[in-house]
Every structure is written in structure tokens, then in C-alpha cells.
Structure 1
Amino acid sequence: MKLTILGGGGFRVPLVYGALLADRGEGRVTRVVLHDLDAGRMSAVARVLAEQAADVPDAPEVSVTTDLDEAVRGADFVFSAIRVGGLAGRAADERVALAEGVLGQETVGAGGIAYGLRTVPVAVDIARRVARLAPDAWVINFTNPAGLVTEAMSRTLGDRVIGICDSPVGLGRRVARALGADAGADTFVDYVGLNHLGWVRGLRVDGRDELPRLLADRALLGSFEEGRLFGADWLQSLGAIPNEYLHYYYFNRETVRAYQDAELTRGAFLHRQQDRFYARAGNPGVSALKAWDETRAEREATYMSENRDTAGAGEREEEDLSGGYEKVALALMRAVARDERTTLILNVPNRGTVAALDADAVVEVPCTVDAHGARPVAVGPLPAHATGLVVSVKAVEREVLAAAASGSRATAVKAFALHPLVDSVNVARRLVDGYRAAHPQLAYLG
């Protein structure tokens, strides 16, 4: 089975390959094709993968190419993890937004809109190529903003594109751990929302909802990352456990100030860090795998550090430093390829799951997955406070899609101005001008 990884020079590709190496089942991936526009980065990552596979019999064969059509043609699965504009683009997203006093995070607020505006046209082109060259392929999208990009691609690929994210998985695991439960087959995480905008509303173990026990116990709430990040009082008021990215909404002013005061923004930090990694990994005298392991440990430990510092949440737990999206990707591929029915939290078309949104709106909810793809599980209605945010942010995503399709600057301004974390139409206009100046990919906005 052929797996194509778009963004094959990306730093987290070895996580995916490591998961494939552990899969010994029938119908497993036997061929991996890496595609990237940066041949040097891709070569460095290929060195990491070769070291990972050194002692593994029958490891999946790895090849590399900068030709997108060659990479996609005949694929069974296409894993999309591209970053249009690279980490330099992410750093620019942060810088332009913070200069206007608003959040520049890569998936939330102004930064997420800018990232979406330059990514959607590329993602749509990929979707069209897949439809032409690998019509039976399943596309697993991890490209951010994941829900928005998945919805853009679904307009060409329909249900054959499925979005994944590791945030709900990590949150469910931490909630289960706090309750002394195993986040396994007998545990159902009632999670609903959009990508990076969702809430755990229940944790059913053998059919019994254990979340009320967690919410009633302040000590338990303080025992895991989201409890410390949001505070017991706020979680008890909400009656749910928010995805960590909701910290940008609930504590926006404090977070923006922390980002403005930081020596480096997250994008600038990662840009500097990964430049060092790729330089080391390209040196034949250096173990590329060791360089990658050391860089990944630092990356994971510093994840959302400004938010945790603002909340006094302390360091991340050891168990939360091991990633997770690669496990979701592998579980999804197994379920589809082998018809192994499972339940995963995924980004898929709504189809009536969230009553406040239309059928085609991509949402992030538990899904049953098998050879026919992913189907959302029916969930209860969102509380009013959550419905308001979800509807508002989905409206922004739709304006981003419309701007990307039309090239309309006015529509792009509307997308920024309607976002809950952008507080002025005039700020929205300046953001569009600032991002057009920073990103050549946005020259299409007339």
C-alpha cells in the first residue's frame, strides 16, 4: 500500500514513519513517498527515517520527489501536512497581528485567517490533482487550520478527505488519566466543536459519565494541564473541559500581552530551532535521528509555554510530550484499509451532528470509521456559550473560503473583522494590508 506524505520535509514526518514501523498487520503501508518543495529539508528527514528503519525488518520503502503529480499518482492514502510560507510565514503572521494588538497564533484569530488565506488555494489544487491522479485515494489532512482546509478540500473530494488533530486525543487522554480511567475501547469521549474550538462534555466509561465527578473535585481538576490552564472555577462554571486552544479566547488579553512581551514568538522560536536541526541533520557525520530526538524534546516541552506561564500552569507532564497525531493517522488508515471499525475524533462534514451548522460545515466530533470512511456520531446540543463561538468562527471560515475563491480583498477584510478576537473593522483592513505586504502568496487579494 502506497502512502504519500505531502510536506515530506516537515519536522514531524518521523512521527508518522515511526508509527508505520510499528504496524506489522496485513495490508500495512509498504511504500512511503515524501513530497516537498524543499529538497534539502526532505533529504534531511529521509536520513532520519533511514536511521529509524535501520533495525526493522521489512520497513516501508521510502522515496522522495519534488514532483507533486508523481508523488500523488496511484496513492492509496495521501497525508497532507504542508506549510505554505514555511515557519518564516508563521512568524510573519504573528508579527503583523501583534503589531495591531491582536492574536497572531497560527490557527486562531488573525494569524489563523492569514494562514488559511494562503493555504486554501494550494490545498484546493492538491485536492484536484488527487481527484485526477488517485481517485480512489483517501486524503488525511493535518494541514492547518485543519478544519478550514479540510472543508476546502471536501468541496472537491467529498468524504474522501478527513481531517485529523492531536489536541482532542491528548485532552481525552488527560481527562481519563485524571479520573483513573483507561482512554481505551471502553471509554467514549463526548467531544464536539470545530478544530481547536471544542469541548469535552462527557467521559463515558462502560456507559457511565464520569465527567461530573471530575468537575466536582477541585483537586482532580488541578491534577492535569487544562485544569491548571483554565482554573477550577472557570471549568466548573462551563460544566465542560475546553480544548487548550480556547485559552486564546477565554484569556485573550493576557495571552496577547504575554506574546508581545516574549523574546521570540512561537513561530520565530521554531524557525530558529528547526533551521539548526536541518543544518545538523544534513551533516553526514551527525546522527540525524539523535538531532531530531533532541529537537523534538525541546519543541514539545515549550508548547504553549506563554499560555501556561500566564495561567501559572507549570511544566507539561511527561506523558504529554510524545505527540499523538501520528497514532490517529495510523488508526484511521487501518480502519479504512482493513475495515477495522473504530471510533476517532475527526474533522468531517457535519451532516446534522451540530444543529446550529449546515450539513457541509466541517466539525470536529467523534466518528465511527470503517472501510466506508468516517461518519459523525450523534451528539447532544451545544450550550449557548459554545454555540455562539462555533457559529461565529465557522462564519469566518466561510468568508476565508469565499475570499480564496474570489480573490476579493473586501471579503478577506470581512473574514478578519468578523472574528471574535479582532475588535475593529479598521484593524481588519490594516491586517489585510500588512499580510499582503508580508506574504507574496496573498497577492491574489485585489
Structure 2
Amino acid sequence: MRLTILGGGGFRVPLVYRALLADRAEGRVTRVVLHDVDADRLAAIGKVLAAQAEGVPDAPAVTATTDLDEALRGADFVFSAIRVGGLAGRAADERVALAEGVLGQETVGAGGIAYGLRTVPVAVEIARRVAALAPDAWVINFTNPAGLVTEAMSRVLGDRVIGICDSPVGLGRRVARVLGVDPAEAWFDYAGLNHLGWLRGLKAGGRDLLPELLADPERLGSFEEGRLFGADWLRSLGAVPNEYLHYYYFGRETVGAYQDALRTGGTRGAYLREQQAGFYRDALAPGVPALDAWLRTLADREATYMAANREAAGDGAGRAEADLEPGGYEQVALALMRAIARDERATLILNVRNRSALRELDADAVVEVPCLVDANGAHPVTVTPLPYHAVGLVTAVKAVEREVLTAAESRSRDAAVKAFALHPLVDSVAVARRLLAAYTAEHPELAHLSA
């Protein structure tokens, strides 16, 4: 089976390859094709993968190319993890938004909109090339903003594109661990959009165990989301939110923490840009063990994840070792491929077209919900209705996503301004107009917004 990875020079590709190396079952991936627009990044990641494969019998063969059509021909699965504009673009997204006093995170708020506006046209073109060259392939999308990009690609590929994210997996695993439950044996009542969802229940042994966790302040304070949001707020919600909802529930504090970071040492995007530039430089240097350099960089990356949010929440202890447990999006991707290729039925939280899973949204809206997966793809499970406070956020953000899609398709600046202005974390139409002007000046990829 052949897997093509778009964004094959990306830093997290070795996580995917590590998962493939551990898969010894019949019908496994035997060939991996890496595609990237940057040949040096491909070479660096190729060195890491070669080191990972040492001593592993029948390791999947790896080839690399900068030619998209060559990469897609013959693919059974296409894993898309591109970053239009690179980490320099992410750093600019953060900086521009913070200058206006609003959030610039890469998937949430103004930064997420800017990232979406320049990514959607590229993702749609990729979907068209897949449809033309590998019409039977399944596309697994991890490109952010994952829900928005998956919806854009679904307009070309229908249900053959499925979005994945590691946030719900990590949340479910942490809650299950605190409750003493094997995550593989639990049912997670989770629903929303990508980076905007809530865990409303965890069922094991025929009963919902989440209420007992919400009633126990000590256990609520023992895992990442409990420390991030606080026990009182989780009890008020009657649910455990995805970590990205911290940007909504504690917006002022988070913007302040990000502005402090910008003044004192740089935002998350700027930090990763410098960190990864160092890795790619070292990995290509003669005599440097590329895998060792990658592992060191990965450990530092994970330890500093959402550091500004933890600072805003007053959690100065850093990430607990248990919260750094590996096995995120790459395990979801592998489980998804197994379920489809081998008809091994699985239940996974995925980003798919809604159909009727969330009654508050239309059938074509991409949502993040539990899905039953088999050889015919991912089938969303109808979930219990969202409470009104969640409905408000979900429908508002979906409206923003739809304006981003309209802007990308019609090249409309008015639609782009509307996307910024309608977002719950942007508080003024005037700010929205200034944001678009500043982002257009920063990103050549937004030159298409001319109408």
C-alpha cells in the first residue's frame, strides 16, 4: 500500500513513519512518498527516516519528490500536512493580530482566518489534482485550520477526505487515565468543530464516569485541562472543553500573555521558526545524527506547547510527564488507514461532513464528532444536542469558516473582512479591515483577494 505525505519535509513526519514502522499486519503501508516544495527539508527529514528504519526488517521504502503530480500518481492514501507560508507566516499571523490587541493563534481568531485565507486555495488545488490523478485515494487532512481545510477539500472530494486532529485524542486519554479507564474501552461523548469541542461524557462499563470526575476537585486538578480551565469552570460547564477553548473563555488573559511573550522573547510561531531552522540546519550537517537532533527538538517542542495559556491560567509548573505521552495524530491516521484499507471497524473522533450528527448545522458542514469507520469511510454518529452556549460558538465560528471559503472562491475582500469581523474574538469591523490590510501586506499568498 502506498502512502503519499504532502508536506513531507515537515517536522512531524517522523512521527507518522514511526507509527508505520510498528505496523506489521498484512496490508500495511510498504511505500511512502514524501512531497514538499522545499528540497532541503525533504533531505533533512529523509535522513531522520533512514535512521528510524535502521535494523527494522521490511521497513516501508521512502522516496521524495518536489513534483506534486508524481507524488500523487498511484497513491492509496494521501496525508496532507502542508503549511502555506511556513512558520514565518505563522509568526506574522501572530504579530499582526497582537498589534491590534486580538488573538493571532494559527487556528483560532484572526491568525486562523489569515492562515485559512492563504491555505484554502492551495488545498482546493491539491484536491483537484488528487481527483484527477488518484481518484480512488483517501485523503487524510491534518493541514490547519483542519476543519476549514477539510470542508474546502470536501467540495471536490466529497467524503473521501477526512480530517484528523490530536487534541480530542489527548483530551480523552488524559480524562480516561484520571478515571482509571482504558481509553480503548471507553466511549467519548465529544462534539463540536475542530479546536472547538467539548467532552460531555465518558462511558465505560455501562455508565457515564464524567460526573464523578467533575465532582472531585482534586482529580480535576491532576490533568492538563483541569489546571488550564479550573475546577469551578469545568463544573459550571458540566463538560471538559478542548484546550483551544481557553482562547475563548480566557481571551483577555491569553492575549495579554501572548503580548508579553512578543515583547520579551517572541510568540510561539517565532519560537518554532527559530527552533526548527536550527534542527534542519543541524540535520543536514555532515556527521550530525539527524534522528538525535530531531528527538531533542521534539521533546522541547512538546514541553513548551501552549506555554502562554498555562501562564495565563497561573499554571507555572509546566507540562506533566504523563501529558507528554506520545501517540497523537499519527496514531489516529494509522488507525483510520487500517480501518478503511482492511475493513477493521474502528470508532474515532474525526472531522467529516456533518450529515445529521449535529442538528444545529447543515449536512455539508464539517464537524468534529465520533465516527464509525470501515472500508466505506467514516460515518458520523449522531450526538446529543449541544447546550446553547456551545451552539452559539459553533454556529458563529462555522459562519466565519463559510466566509473564508467564499472569500477564497470569489477572491472577495468584502467576504474576507466579514470573516474577520464576525469572529467572536475580533471586536470591531474597523479592526477587521485593518487586519486584512496588514495581512495582505505581509502575505503575497493573499494577493488573490482583489475583488
TM-score normalised per structure 1: 0.99
Distance (whole Å) between structure 2 residues aligned to residue 207 and residue 134 of structure 1: 43
Distance (whole Å) between structure 2 residues aligned to residue 305 and residue 207 of structure 1: 37
Deviations 1:48-72 (CA, angstroms, capped at 9, x unpaired) = 0000001100000000000000001
Q: Identity rate of aligned residues, in percent?
A: 77
Deviations 1:246-281 (CA, angstroms, capped at 9, x unpaired) = 000000000001000112100000000000000000
Question: What amino acid is aligned across from residue 266 of structure 1 in structure 2?
Answer: R
Hey, what does 1:90 align to over in structure 2?
Answer: 90
> Alignment partner of 2:183: what SS?
coil
- Give the CA deviation at 1:201: 0.2
Residue 395, structure 1, aligned to residue 394, structure 2: no
Distance (whole Å) between structure 2 residues aligned to residue 432 and residue 226 of structure 1: 33
Question: What amino acid is aligned across from residue 424 of structure 1 in structure 2?
Answer: S
- Give the CA deviation at 1:320: 2.5
Distance (whole Å) between structure 2 residues aligned to residue 68 and residue 376 of structure 1: 31
Out of 262, 268, 288, the residue aligned to residue 290 of structure 2 is 288
Hey, what does 1:422 align to over in structure 2?
Answer: 426
- Give the CA deviation at 1:206: 2.2
Q: Is the 8 A contact 2:103 2:111 kept in 1?
A: yes
- Give the CA deviation at 1:180: 1.2
Hey, what does 2:101 align to over in structure 1?
Answer: 101
Counterparts in 2 of 1:33-432, with a 5 A limit? Answer: 33-184=33-184, 186-262=185-261, 263-313=265-315, 314-321=317-324, 322-432=326-436
Distance (whole Å) between structure 2 residues aligned to residue 334 and residue 316 of structure 1: 31
Distance (whole Å) between structure 2 residues aligned to residue 406 and residue 62 of structure 1: 39
Distance (whole Å) between structure 1 residues aligned to residue 82 and residue 320 of structure 2: 28
Distance (whole Å) between structure 2 residues aligned to residue 410 and residue 99 of structure 1: 22
- Give the CA deviation at 1:181: 1.1
- Give the CA deviation at 1:323: 4.8
Question: What amino acid is aligned across from residue 235 of structure 1 in structure 2?
Answer: L
> Alignment partner of 1:443: what SS?
helix
Distance (whole Å) between structure 2 residues aligned to residue 318 and residue 146 of structure 1: 27
Question: What amino acid is aligned across from residue 269 of structure 2 in structure 1?
Answer: G
Residue 6, structure 1, aligned to residue 10, structure 2: no
> Alignment partner of 1:367: what SS?
strand
Distance (whole Å) between structure 1 residues aligned to residue 339 and residue 321 of structure 2: 29
Distance (whole Å) between structure 1 residues aligned to residue 104 and residue 124 of structure 2: 24
> Alignment partner of 2:32: what SS?
strand
Distance (whole Å) between structure 1 residues aligned to residue 356 and residue 335 of structure 2: 25
Question: What amino acid is aligned across from residue 102 of structure 2 in structure 1?
Answer: V
Question: What amino acid is aligned across from residue 432 of structure 1 in structure 2?
Answer: L
User: Aligned Cα RMSD in Å?
Assistant: 0.6
Distance (whole Å) between structure 2 residues aligned to residue 296 and residue 309 of structure 1: 21
- Give the CA deviation at 1:318: 1.5
Distance (whole Å) between structure 1 residues aligned to residue 205 and residue 168 of structure 2: 20
Segments of structure 1 that go 5 or more residues without pairing to the other structure are none
Q: Is the 8 A contact 2:223 2:323 kept in 1?
A: no
> Alignment partner of 2:390: what SS?
helix
Deviations 1:97-122 (CA, angstroms, capped at 9, x unpaired) = 00000000000000000000000000
Instruction: State which drifts further: 173-182 or 287-296.
Output: 173-182
Distance (whole Å) between structure 1 residues aligned to residue 132 and residue 8 of structure 2: 21
Distance (whole Å) between structure 2 residues aligned to residue 59 and residue 222 of structure 1: 42
Distance (whole Å) between structure 2 residues aligned to residue 149 and residue 391 of structure 1: 17
Question: What amino acid is aligned across from residue 348 of structure 2 in structure 1?
Answer: L
Instruction: State which drifts further: 164-173 or 213-222.
Output: 213-222
Aligned residues between the structures: 445
> Alignment partner of 2:5: what SS?
strand
Distance (whole Å) between structure 2 residues aligned to residue 290 and residue 224 of structure 1: 29
- Give the CA deviation at 1:312: 2.0
